[in-house]
Every structure is written in C-alpha cells, then in structure tokens.
Amino acid sequence: MSALHIYDSAPLGSLIRFSNGEPRPPSRFTRKLRAWNDENGMGRLVEKMAGRAGDYPSPATFALHLGNYGSQGTILMVVRRIYTVDSRLRFEIADQPKAGMVRILSRREGREELHHLASDMTAAETWSAAHRYHGSVMEVVTAADRVVSPAQFGRAA
C-alpha cells in the first residue's frame, strides 16, 4: 500500500508495517543492517495531519509511534517517525483496533492525535483521570472503523 492509502483509510491505533522492499542484510554487516532497520519496521499510527497550502505548502503527514525508552517506569524518550503521503516506502496494515476499544484523542487545526488506546471504556476513564490532556475526546471503535486491506486477501502490498 502507499502512504496515501494509509493516511486516507487506516484508523488511528492501527499497527502499520513499513518496508523499502530490500531483503534484510546479514547480521555481520552492522552498518547496512542499521540502515535497513531505519526503513523497515512496525509502529502504531498515532497522528494524522492535513497538508497546508499557502506560502509554505506541505503535504499531509502521519506519525508512527515506534517505542518508548526509559527506566524504572519513567519514560525518557518517545520515538515517533513522521511520513509524508508521497513517501517511497511500502506500508501495510498489520493490525487494527478491535470493536469496543476506546481511543483517547485530541483534535485541533487539521491534526488528529492518539494519546492512548484502551481495551474498554472503564480502562479509558481510568487512564484519562491519571493523564490529563486538554480537550481530549474518547471515541469508541466500531466495526465500521475497520478497513479491509489487500494484505488480508493474500496479495502483496
């Protein structure tokens, strides 16, 4: 799938696999393997931002959350990667939020950001009470939110 297809149809909270199409190099080639890992991996779709026109135009983008790093329960670094809709990488929806899960979102100025994906409304309310976000909204995932991707039919993305 293209990055534009992910932006248009993948629901927030989906696990997205990205790839440059190259085979994984052997482990002994550490530099090549590090470069390959930069363009091949998986992350959770946490943000969509509309493109801008005008003096400083920019294409629409989406962000994948790749991981949190820290120690002793304290997050020191959040790793996200932002892709434009004209990215040359290939994308695939690996998993989507299930019906009944709850997204805790914020929306402003053409930007939609996922803060947390909870298993149910009780868990979402508990998380929301502990983590205050200004203007956050709770949205229950429905069966209509799910997208049928080409990968689910066995075709290459």
pLDDT tens by residue, the chain, 157 residues: 888 999 988 999 999 999 999 999 999 999 999 999 989 999 999 999 988 888 888 899 999 999 989 888 888 998 999 999 999 999 999 999 998 999 999 888 878 889 999 999 999 999 998 888 888 899 999 887 777 655 454 444 4
User: What's the pTM?
Assistant: 0.82
How do beta strands 111-118 and 90-95 pair?
unpaired
- Please report the pLDDT score of residue 149 as a whole number: 54
Three-class DSSP category at 5: helix
Torsion of CA 98, 46, 42, 93, to 10 degrees: 50
Please, which residues have CB within 8 angstroms of residue 104's CB and are 6 or more apart in sequence?
Answer: 114, 115, 116, 117, 118, 124, 127, 128, 133, 136, 137, 138
Q: Provide the 8-state DSSP code for 48.
A: E
